[in-house]
Structure 1
């Protein structure tokens, strides 16, 4: 593991912290308490593993990461752990935005 290069790792961790803080402190939509959210994230994770694995696996991957910019933890199929963090932050941020917009339009909280 290379801890010196945080070019991709640090923004990935900051993105997760920022999204979780936005929900916990600012938005308070209750999204993290909903089983439907966690089911959605499990489905996203399944497809992320398939697609990301195809892009990063093998002797000639389509996507190549600079080893100086990631931790070096890769699983399964050579997927950098940072990709999971960014995926979580991106999907959660979009869902939070949709939920907040729905609540502002007078939708009933679920």
Structure 2
């Protein structure tokens, strides 16, 4: 399996595992999380689409390192998994810290 694809899948699984079994911030059950993720990924489409367009790419990927499946606007699908992992990690840690501060000192 190509390296970028493998690292993207691993990153997604690690973040999901951390949320479900370690931090338990509860973001996956919140509509606000899914709305924020949708908004971020929509803007990712615009920026990533411009950066990776095959007609005049700014960012060039080594074809042997990813699946070479692109959707939409020539965006490698791995970029969405990587974006999911980054956004979820930040929001998960933010919500976890907020939950801890609302509990008070232990």
CA distance in 2, matches of 1:49, 1:65: 17
Q: CA deviation at 1:58?
A: 3.5
Is 2:43 aligned against 1:37?
no
Query: Any gaps of 5 or more consecutive residues in structure 1?
Result: none
Is 2:59 aligned against 1:77?
no
1:91 is aligned to 87
Q: CA RMSD in A?
A: 1.4
CA distance in 1, matches of 2:54, 2:69: 16
Q: CA deviation at 1:63?
A: 0.4
Match of 2:44 among 41, 48, 57: 48
* Greater helix fraction, Structure 1 or Structure 2: 2
TM-score with structure 2 setting the length: 0.93
How many residue pairs align between the two structures? 104
CA distance in 2, matches of 1:36, 1:59: 36
Is 2:2 aligned against 1:16?
no
Query: Any gaps of 5 or more consecutive residues in structure 2?
Result: none
2:59 is aligned to 63
TM-score with structure 1 setting the length: 0.90
